[in-house]
Amino acid sequence: MEFIIREMFAAALKAADPAAAVLAHGDALRALYLEGGFERLIVAGFGKASFPMAMALDETLGDLIDKGIIITKYGHAPGELRKFRIIEAGHPVPDENGAMGTGEIINLIMDSTAKTLVVTLVSGGGSALFVLPMDDILLQEKQIMTSLLLGAGADISEFNAVRKHISRVKGGGLAERAFPSTIVSLILSDVIGDRLDVIASGPTAPDPTTYTDALAVLEKYGLMETAPPAVVRLLKAGEKGLLPETPKPWSPVFHHVINSIIGNNRSALEAARFKALNFGLKGEIMADDITGEARKTGKWLARRALAAMLEKGEEPFCMVSGGETTVTVTGKGKGGRNMELALAFALEIEGTPGITLLSAGSDGTDGPTDAAGAMVDGMTTIRARNMGLDPEAYLRDNDSYTFFRKAGGLFVTGPTGTNVMDMQFIFIA
């Protein structure tokens, strides 16, 4: 079964290969540059997949590129590129390298004119890597705000409503600074519904949220008192109209912006399902919009699996799902949303034979760990108890990584070079 799982995961990654997706747009970009009378082509990339995306663009348009800068996560840039400066930075909490690289990108595009074609390579993780706080906000305060929102379990839309309003580049900020150049954004989606304003906090897309929305997020999660005072002051000043809002759909800065989704979670899930069919397994995509608390989602998926087991015929089959859950951190352990989901799933199916789950991040990382996720079955928690481990205690302490490291089940792939959210494969024998 593990072999089939790994083959399905590999097929999903291949369908979301950012380099192949960029290469597929190479001829169109070349034609746009030559026929549009442009005099300069510059590239800005940010996200976990920006290196393979830049590598593909270097291969197909290297003779036309004047200069490129990309910012990616530490360990995600395996080499050098001819026309690109490569900067590795912190994720999910931004750091000085990210701020430095973002400043370099802003300096690059500020020189652009109407005769400049700007290609942006956008992928998941871009929100943390492409970071330049408002003048009144220190990077350290941005880091604190990021950690508070992560710990509170804010979803990506709520997270971004705050980040956009304390940033100079998010929420259409990059498009605003590149105006009047033409921008083509090639975007690998890591959000449900492929919302342009949410992926990497929408640097080249209009922002539908407001300062009021950002303040509402802090209120919802009880962060008004713990958030850095400078952040609260800025958001309140913006709500009173003392600061300009992020650019909206009617802004002229978007008149020459083309945003193109080149890969997403759905395409990855379809490829995984097709691979299951090749192995003689019936397969169905159960959902591609999985959200909510990871442990609650794990229980829900387990109940779906148990119900399906009662209804199935004699042939084995698999259920495929994808999305992005959240974790409200109350413990002091180490883990990620996929491992927490898997541990909750394992507890729910404890002792039930014939059910196996993989939950893993398509980028190869789950939280601040070296694992992509975890694989469990009905014996996982029983084996752990026989080793003297208490699965419920590890779950309460948000310590799923330590649990699976001791009990077995970690799914380790290393950085995959892509990022289209998370995937769950459930097998019922």
Closest CA to 294 of 331, 245, 261: 331
Closest CA to 46 of 113, 3, 104, 4: 104
- Percent of the chain past pLDDT 70, that is, above it, reads 99
Sheet holding 282-290, edge to edge: 282-290, 317-323, 422-428, 355-361, 373-377, 410-411
Q: In the chain, what's the furthest Cα-to-Cα distance?
A: 71
The H-or-E segment that residue 197 falls in is none
Instruction: Express each pLDDT in 130-175 by its tens digit.
Output: 999 998 899 999 999 999 998 898 988 899 899 999 999 999 999 9
pLDDT on residue 2:
87
For β-strands 116-122 and 182-188, DSSP reports them as parallel
Q: Is the pLDDT of residue 212 over 80?
A: yes
Q: Is the pLDDT of residue 314 over 90?
A: no
Whole-number Å distance between alpha carbons of 120 and 146: 24
Rounded to an integer, the average pLDDT of 245-266 is 96
Beta strand extents in 206-328 (DSSP E only): 257-263, 282-290, 317-323
Whole-number Å distance between alpha carbons of 176 and 205: 10
Instruction: Express each pLDDT in 93-134 by its tens digit.
Output: 899 999 999 999 999 999 899 999 999 999 989 999 999 999
Rounded to an integer, the average pLDDT of 56-83 is 95
pLDDT on residue 313:
66
Q: Is the pLDDT of residue 213 over 90?
A: yes
pLDDT on residue 1:
82
Residue 312's pLDDT band (boundaries 50, 70, 90)? low
Determine how many CB atoms are found less than 10 A away from the CB of residue 19.
Answer: 18
Alpha helices per DSSP H over 312-379: 337-348
Whole-number Å distance between alpha carbons of 121 and 103: 17
Closest CA to 418 of 8, 19, 9, 11: 19
Whole-number Å distance between alpha carbons of 43 and 137: 27
- For 131, list phi and psi in degrees, rounded to 5: -135, 125
Closest CA to 89 of 77, 72, 106, 104: 72
Radius of gyration in angstroms for the set of CA atoms belonging to the chain, rounded to a whole number: 22
Structural domains of the chain sorted by starting position, each given as residue range(s) with its CATH number in brackets? 17-132+167-209+246-263 (3.40.50.10180), 266-428 (3.40.1480.10)
pLDDT on residue 283:
87
Q: Is the dihedral of CA 164, 169, 174, 180 positive or negative?
A: positive
Whole-number Å distance between alpha carbons of 20 and 250: 33
Q: Is the pLDDT of residue 341 over 90?
A: yes
Q: Is the pLDDT of residue 346 over 70?
A: yes
CB-based contact 13:272 (threshold 8 Å) = no
DSSP letter at 253? G
Whole-number Å distance between alpha carbons of 29 and 18: 16
CB-based contact 341:335 (threshold 8 Å) = no
Residue 410's pLDDT band (boundaries 50, 70, 90)? very high
Q: Which two structure tokens, joined as six digits, stand for 215?
A: 């303040």
